[in-house]
Amino acid sequence: MNAQRSLLIQDLALTWRYSVGNQYEEFSFAEALDTAEVMAEYGLPGVARHILTSSLARLGGGTTNWRAGEKLTAAALYVRLSGDREYLDQATPMLSRIVDGLGRQIRSGHGGLVRRERYSSDVAARVYGLHAQAAVWQGLNAIAGVWRASGRTAHARTAHALAVALGRGLHLAVRRSSHRLKDGSLFVPAALLARHKPFDAVTSSRPGSYWNLVVPYALSSGFFTPGSRDANAILEYMLRHGSRLLGLVRAGAYSLYGRPKYPVSGTDQVYGLNVARFLADNDRPDQLVLSLYGMLGASMTPNTFVSGEAATVAPLRGAAYRSMYMPPNTASNSAFLETLRLMLVHERRDKGGSPVGLDLAFASPRPWLGDGKSISVNAASTSFGALTYDLHREGNRVAGTVIVPSRRPPPTLRLRLRVPHGVRIRAVRVNGHRRPVDLRTGTIDLSGMRGSLDVAAVLSR
């Protein structure tokens, strides 16, 4: 809670700035838009709107496809969470210009893809970037849903049709570019249709390191259907080829080490935000827990909770402590905040990216429901309205209350009781009636229920 408070204060102070007091004191795409999304999720719509307005003001001179997709996604999420129709009215002309520009590319003979563009700000090669293509696909779907809900049916139809066309082209490009390894894991290159081989260790080369930073944007988009064979196989590739250390995103940390000789490398948890989304979508609670405590232990300063873009792991020029690159960093802050939220509140999406349900406490650390412990979420912003719930354990009982969002009740609603190892759930009652529970995961299906729900669980060893 101390970390959450400190990081929120830092991000409130910096708003759209990537950092302060150094050359990173600038608007950084797509990291600033990630921060806008997190601020909206934490019930700070004014900050989110300010960042979004700043991003649209930077349309002059054109924009990359990756940035365009992120702008659409962030604007849609903000409107869903805040209900700010005034902002949507003001932003729609600019957002429509973005969609029209993307449409011209999708229809212009690139195999259903948007055009090649720079791999990233640090890598000049022009590629059909998996991350850029998936970001556009996600953004088109997201803004189509918001426009549809606000009665802008023509705008919605256009964006949806473009998302469908891009999705077809992207699926074909991914199939042609992917490599399924003998161990069953799946490697999808960030540069599509370019004959890139899998990396044995992602941090052993500069291309591998940058793959590890940009691919999370594609993974979090939902393009690889959560829970599917491909999504699980991609995660297995990451886990087996050095993508993560202590739950943190690994990278070469060239800005700190210069030209490190493998296996020297660092971490870059700025991009852990989208890895966390991918992990939550694929229900990997223990990996999320590892990321949360990995950030507290290895990517930010103890008790003051300051972090930079990158941090060292191997010793650096004889220094006694870890070093970090250009702190403070709003996107790194937001990675922690997003991971914490996803552990307690996760929105499930359909294949088109529309929110269809809420998962509560799906990745809470098991000790948080130790004897005498409590978990509380108060008026969290969701696409369905404000969500409040609390859980408290005393002895062999867990008592809780869930107040179902009422603005638009979620089609599916699930609560998970992750009790400490060695403790079992014997029975669960909701509003006094027995309710089925998945004894393996501790998951209780509350779908279809409304109002205030009283949850009571009996435990045993």
CATH class held by domain 359-460: mainly beta
The pLDDT score that the predictor gives to residue 62 is 63
Range(s) of the chain covered by CATH 2.60.40: 359-460
Which regions of the chain are under pLDDT 50? none
> pLDDT (tens digit, 9 = 90+) per residue, 286-317?
999 999 999 999 999 999 999 999 999 988 88
Range(s) of the chain covered by CATH 1.50.10.10: 2-353
The pLDDT score that the predictor gives to residue 446 is 98
Is the Cβ–Cβ distance between 177 and 170 less than 8 Å?
A: no
Is the Cβ–Cβ distance between 108 and 116 less than 8 Å?
A: no
Is the Cβ–Cβ distance between 347 and 383 less than 8 Å?
A: yes
Is the Cβ–Cβ distance between 188 and 245 less than 8 Å?
A: no
Report pTM. Answer: 0.96
| Residues linked to residue 191 through DSSP beta bridges, in sequence order | 129
Bond before 420 cis per omega within 30 degrees? no
- Residue 402's SS3 state is strand
Pairing status of strand 412-416 against strand 355-360: parallel
Round to whole Å and give the CA distance between 55 and 39: 15
- Record the tokens describing residue 453, joined without a space: 């729900």
Q: Return the CATH architecture of domain 2-353.
A: Alpha/alpha barrel (1.50)
How far the first Cα of the chain sits from its last, in Å, is 30
Round to whole Å and give the CA distance between 227 and 283: 8
Q: How far, in whole angstroms, is CA 157 from its chain's centroid?
A: 26
Is the Cβ–Cβ distance between 390 and 374 less than 8 Å?
A: yes
- State the DSSP code for 424: E
Round to whole Å and give the CA distance between 179 and 201: 15
Is the Cβ–Cβ distance between 461 and 422 less than 8 Å?
A: yes
- Record the tokens describing residue 143, joined without a space: 């803004």
Token pair 């893809």 is found at 113
The pLDDT score that the predictor gives to residue 63 is 80
Q: Whose CA is closest to 51, among 87, 82, 84, 17?
A: 17
- Record the tokens describing residue 66, joined without a space: 């990756």
- Record the tokens describing residue 22, joined without a space: 């150094």
The pLDDT score that the predictor gives to residue 320 is 85
- Record the tokens describing residue 156, joined without a space: 């919605």
> pLDDT (tens digit, 9 = 90+) per residue, 17-66?
999 999 999 988 889 999 999 999 999 999 999 999 988 887 655 689 99
Torsions phi, psi for 362 (to 5 deg): -70, -20
Round to whole Å and give the CA distance between 384 and 406: 7
- Record the tokens describing residue 386, joined without a space: 């404000």
- Mean pLDDT of the chain, nearest integer: 95
Round to whole Å and give the CA distance between 161 and 171: 16
Angle subtended at Cα 21 by Cα 15 and Cα 25, rounded to the nearest 5 degrees? 45
* Exposed / middle / buried, residue 200 (Cβ in 10 Å: 0-12, 13-18, 19+): exposed
- State the DSSP code for 110: S
Alpha helix positions (H), 118-245: 130-149, 153-177, 206-219, 229-240
CA distances from 178 to 59, 131, 157, 170, 242 (A): 34, 14, 31, 12, 19
Instruction: Give, to the nearest 10 degrees, the angle between helix 31-41 and helix 65-82.
Output: 10
In this structure, the chain runs to a length of: 461
What's the half-sphere exposure (Cβ side, CA atoms, 13 Å) at 227?
A: 6
